[in-house]
Chain A
């Protein structure tokens, strides 16, 4: 994905060399005839109306007093930003979102890579288990959130299991801790998507030529050494894809957090989309739009350096 993002390489010259072009060939090969530009029109019309135009609107309505309580919409300059900043909401939501995204990216990639290495060999059992790990990917994130809400209740199954293992009562409120709940929710998010990361890492592992592994075996490299020095660096494209999608995807997250904590306790898990959902429900459309714009800017600002850094790492190899 990111290969394409950075360099849309024209990998095929369109016109054939002039020498081979006869009079018949000229009419036949003219791209406007064979590949007319209007073929792109419907797709770009949809993108324009339903994606780019609303994004452009974000830059307008974030600077107005648009709300559900009155019909007039007037420009107010940077008032929305100032209000959100002075109440501390802006920075706390930003901090929570970034912390959440980083935690998800780390957990999801550790789990995905671990699973890929564990289930790498193409045995019957491994193929079956891979499908098993893909079930959470297929389920709705909302459903996953409710499952873990039930599992992580103070009187829930996790505490029950822990009580039996440690032989004394455990009644920790996993989703009610102002410091650690965000970590727990990020773990749930990573649990849902680790199967997809696993698939991508498995594909990455398959691209490593057998000769390279063979050579390392002949040189007497240990398993760990072969992984650290050979396989891990060669996994770079898979890592780029997985880290970028996990990081940027979780910044745009909503369902899992809403279904497990709803942003609580004390707003310590209130990521930007939860805030947008809450303020929209209160009729404060301008504030919600402002946060939507903040999310857009945050993702854009993070996307380019993240992708650049990861691509750099690939190039070194």
Chain B
């Protein structure tokens, strides 16, 4: 087996991850990857930051030239005070926090039983429960239903709708995870006389932490950024950040005010980016281990 091509040489020289890889593609990779990231992600993000830092006149036609004077903080401040951001931010929190906490706890409770009691009925219930991952929610009739329930346009209605939409995702991830944890801890607590509520909240729920971290970020990602369902359910009654952005950017108010639109985009994206930056490694490993099983 004499090395004939660079690829071959590479193939025979790498044993495990210890050996140094000196083939051409491998040496080129850092530069290619960095260049690709700068062009595909860097340019659009730079456009956001640069435009958000410009004055109104400079930002009329958004381009990649850096602002002559940075007005980033002023623009953020202007959006904050004039774009009704505090109200929308509060509206977002009011809906997202209960929806996410609720869907995680109720979903985990159901998942625990679904994973531990493998009856035929539960197999059917499980299939039904996770069908919502794929099936699209009936967005028009849900409005009608909320009206009949007296929940139209209310935060409670919105929370219920989000919980209904993302329950499937939570049950899917958590049930898969519960199946991988041994029953011995639960049994020990049961022998000590703990009832199911105690066992669940004191033994099972803490064990679910890794998968709950994943589910939290996934559900937050969808709910925090959602504009479609919010438009139908609470549009015009309750403001959330995406709904507010949709309204002000769509209507004449921000027309040709790209510096304010992009300042808004920065404000709105920041909370998730910060959360992600803090818990990045855990989240990545959680998402990936759930999907490929």
Contacts and interface: CB of A to CB of B under 8 A. Distances in A.
Interface of A: 1, 3-5, 8, 10-14, 28, 31, 33-37, 39-40, 42-44, 46-47, 49-51, 53-55, 57-58, 61, 66, 118-119, 121-123, 125-126, 129-143, 146-148, 150-151, 153, 155-157, 160-161, 191, 196, 199-200, 202-204, 206-207, 210, 214, 216-217, 220-224, 226, 237-238, 241, 244, 248, 251-252, 254-255, 259, 273, 276-277, 280, 285, 288-289, 292-293, 295-296, 299-300, 303
A8 B123 contact: yes
Interface SS of chain A: helix
B135 interface: yes
Contacts of B258: 150
The 10 residue pairs across chains A and B that have the minimum distance between CB atoms: A50-B164, A10-B118, A203-B288, A57-B141, A43-B110, A140-B225, A54-B138, A54-B142, A51-B164, A40-B110
B211 to A, nearest CB: 13
Of the candidates A47, A217, A223, A252, the one having the most CB atoms from chain B within 10 angstroms of its own CB is A47
Contacts of A196: 287
B193 to A, nearest CB: 10
A203 B245 contact: no
Interface string B6-40: 01101110111100000001000110111011001
Interface in B200-259: 200, 221, 224-225, 227-228, 231-232, 241-242, 245-246, 249, 258
B61 A153 contact: yes
Nearest to A249: B134
A255 B228 contact: yes
Contact of B141 (A36, A40, A61, A121): A61
B116 A31 contact: yes
Contacts of B261: 146
Given A125-B33, A203-B289, A288-B140, A151 B145 contact: no
A253 to B, nearest CB: 9
| Chain B at the A interface: SS class | helix
B140 A280 contact: yes
A224 B7 contact: yes
Interface of B: 1, 5, 7-8, 10-12, 14-17, 25, 29-30, 32-34, 36-37, 40-41, 43-45, 47-48, 51, 61-64, 103, 106-107, 109-110, 112-114, 116-119, 122-123, 125-130, 132-142, 144-145, 149, 160-161, 163-165, 167-168, 171-172, 175-176, 179, 183, 186-187, 190-191, 196, 199-200, 221, 224-225, 227-228, 231-232, 241-242, 245-246, 249, 258, 261-262, 265, 268-269, 272-273, 276-277, 280, 284, 287-293
